[in-house]
């Protein structure tokens, strides 16, 4: 673990890559800092979650809940630059339209959006919207969902191999750095905080999240022998959806 000043540089590298926020002028940008910055992804998720939940909370004082939910979803998309949503759509296009490794990778690399990708985005937004109108403790769940969902893609990086079409690629730099156990501990701290300040029963959401992550890792491995940046974005989006849907179960809203 490197010095505190170095970690600040690494954190701000993560902030500028995963969000639209800018960093102080003294921040040093490098491939090494970018590679290390994945450990702060859940911290970035915590920040996005707070902003998104704040917009929802303020919106409820002015608009109906339906409008407040849409504003909160739009805020999260804007703050992240639709980075993870793009991964979701590319991943569905690739695995939906491809039949072997190279074809899947070629489709995911294509900037054009296919029918599978369009449907994935539409369905994801519909599920988020309806789930957030249903859940209780909406503010807490929004914050937790954005934070927790950004931890589980790191498990895939930790266990699986990166595969891609190009050697010089910014996403490759961010995702090929092998996540260590120390990185995972640092990444899990904000997720742990979310769970600590939640009702004890909320810990149960870790079960479907772990199941989803291990299944995705196995699925990616069986088709393309590893993962790409789009696969990680897909994992984040599906994890976020899993959290919202999990808390729509009858015993959470009854």
How distant is the alpha carbon of residue 99 from its chain centre? 26
Higher pLDDT, 24 or 44: 44
Instruction: Give me Rg for the CA atoms of the chain.
Output: 18
Alpha helices of the chain — where are they, by DSSP H? 4-18, 31-36, 41-60, 65-80, 83-97, 101-109, 115-134, 138-148, 152-159, 170-176, 181-196, 206-224, 229-246, 250-253
Poorest-confidence range of 61-65, 95-99, 210-214, 219-223?
A: 95-99
DSSP for 207-235 reads HHHHHHHHHHHHHHHHHHSSB-HHHHHHH
Spatial CB neighbours of 63, under 8 Å, sequence gap ≥ 6: 71
As beta bridge partners, residue 220 has none
Residue 45 burial (CB count, 10 A)? 31
- Specify the pLDDT at position 169: 54
CB 47 within 8 A of CB 19: yes
DSSP assignment letter at 197: T
Poorest-confidence range of 21-30, 172-181, 218-227?
A: 172-181
Residue 109 burial (CB count, 10 A)? 15
Spatial CB neighbours of 215, under 8 Å, sequence gap ≥ 6: none
pLDDT at residue 151 is higher than 90: yes
How distant is the alpha carbon of residue 224 from its chain centre? 21
List pLDDT tens digits, range 28-81.
988 888 888 999 999 999 999 999 999 999 999 999 999 999 999 999 999 999
Taking the C-alpha atoms of residue 239 and residue 223, their distance in angstroms, rounded to an integer, is 20
The chain-wide mean pLDDT, for the chain, equals 91
CB 153 within 8 A of CB 174: no
As a whole-number percent, the residues of the chain with pLDDT over 70 amount to: 93
Higher pLDDT, 7 or 165: 7
Residue with token string 């870790």: 206
List pLDDT tens digits, range 172-200.
555 556 788 899 999 999 999 999 888 88
Taking the C-alpha atoms of residue 31 and residue 42, their distance in angstroms, rounded to an integer, is 20
Please give the average per-residue pLDDT across 83-106, as a whole number: 95
């Amino acid at each position: 673990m490197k010095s505190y000043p170095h970690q600040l540089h690494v954190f701000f590298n993560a902030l500028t890559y995963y969000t639209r926020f800018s960093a102080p002028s003294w921040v040093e940008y490098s491939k090494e800092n970018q590679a290390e910055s994945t450990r702060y992804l859940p911290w970035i998720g915590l920040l996005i979650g707070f902003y998104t939940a704040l917009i929802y909370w303020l919106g409820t004082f002015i608009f109906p809940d339906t409008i407040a939910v849409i504003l909160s979803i739009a805020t999260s998309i804007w703050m992240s630059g639709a980075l993870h949503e793009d991964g979701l759509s590319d991943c569905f296009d690739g695995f939906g339209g491809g039949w072997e490794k190279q074809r899947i990778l070629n489709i995911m690399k294509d900037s054009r959006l296919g029918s599978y990708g369009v449907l994935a985005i539409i369905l994801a937004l519909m599920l988020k919207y309806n789930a957030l109108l249903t859940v209780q403790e909406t503010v807490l769940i929004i914050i937790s969902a954005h934070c927790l969902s950004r931890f589980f893609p790191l498990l895939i990086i930790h266990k699986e191999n990166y595969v891609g079409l190009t050697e010089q690629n910014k996403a490759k730099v961010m995702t090929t750095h092998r996540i260590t156990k120390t990185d995972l501990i640092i990444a899990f701290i904000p997720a742990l905080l979310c769970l600590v300040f939640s009702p004890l029963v909320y810990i149960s959401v870790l079960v479907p999240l772990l199941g989803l992550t291990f299944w995705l890792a196995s699925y990616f491995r069986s088709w393309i022998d590893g993962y790409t940046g789009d696969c990680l974005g897909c994992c984040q989006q599906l994890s976020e959806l899993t959290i919202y849907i999990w808390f729509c179960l009858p015993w959470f809203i009854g």
